[in-house]
Amino acid sequence: MKEINSEACIERFQIEYRLRLEAKTMKAYIYSLTIFFEFVKVEPTRVSKKDIRNWLLYLSESGYKTSTICSYLIALKTFFKFCLEENYLNKNPAKEIPYPKREDKMPAYLSNGQMALFRKLVKGNVMERALIEVLFATGVRRGELMAMKKKDINWEEKSIFISDGKGKKERIVPFSRNCAVYLSAYLESRIDDLPYVFVNSRLKRPLYGQIINTRFQYYSSQLGFRVTPHMLRHTFATHLVKMGMPYEMVQKLLGHDNPKTTQIYTRFFDEFQKEEYDQWM
């Protein structure tokens, strides 16, 4: 077993996993590992299950959300798996640590009426209407939207190739005729030659996350209810489930690796069936 301090070990981990993880995910992992080792104050070779359990308990008692604690534990499990592979450890101390039970929350989505109000709010703004229609019609993530390029659009098939998906996964997502109308109008209004589908108002760079967040905060304040890009992704998924699409197909369109991530939407199908039943009774 090799001896190595936490700083050097984290650096080695970052080098080895830089091509396996997205930059954003790697940054989150490094932060998780940094605060963990600041808490336990021992080197990787000395970390025990008790150390990890104590840290998780500390996070819980400090008011951290269950989802955040789970994310931190995922980082630890990945890191110590790497340490085992590199022969820094004889046993992975995080392997058998269970994830804290997540709160079983239903995804927040917009009703048909709320979507109608949302569309009315951005009426006349060709870029914002196109952005909303793409998010709603494809279910893409915010990051995928920002990375989307004009060459990825297949107008004949009405589909978009997502080359920079979560976990570096590729997939093809279809879009509706309604979406095609607004997306085409927006692209035709552009006078720049940037390759990205969505660019900022000055047409000098691709649209970035903070601008999108700021706009959605404005939408929320004007509408009187919360809207986010990810909420449109949930709306896309619940709409497909309501229409009866098998969840395996929904999983593929959303780009989920784990079927369990998609299965939460199937609960909506039971609710929608109950609503239809109640209408007839």
- pLDDT of 166 reads 61
Q: Tell me the CATH number for domain 112-280.
A: 1.10.443.10
Count of C-beta atoms within a 10 Å radius of residue 58: 11
- pLDDT of 265 reads 64
- pLDDT of 170 reads 84
Asked whether the domain spanning 112-280 has the same topology as the one spanning 6-85, the reply is no
**Tens of pLDDT, residues 114-125:** 999 999 999 999
Cα separation of 33 and 255, whole Å?
Answer: 27
- pLDDT of 169 reads 73
Length of the chain: 281
Distance between start and end Cα atoms, the chain: 69
pLDDT lower than 70: segments of the chain: 1-3, 102-106, 164-168, 203, 247, 257-281
DSSP H helix total and E strand total for the chain = 13, 3
Domain boundaries, the chain: 6-85, 112-280
- Contact between residue 225 and residue 114 where contact means Cβ atoms under 8 Å apart: yes
CATH superfamily of 6-85: Tyrosine recombinase, N-terminal domain (1.10.150.130)
- pLDDT of 210 reads 86
* DSSP reduced 3-state for 105: coil
Can you say whether residue 21 is alpha, beta or left, with left for phi > 0 and alpha for psi between -120 and 50 degrees?
beta
**100 Cβ contact list (under 8 Å, min separation 6):** 56, 60, 66, 69, 70, 73
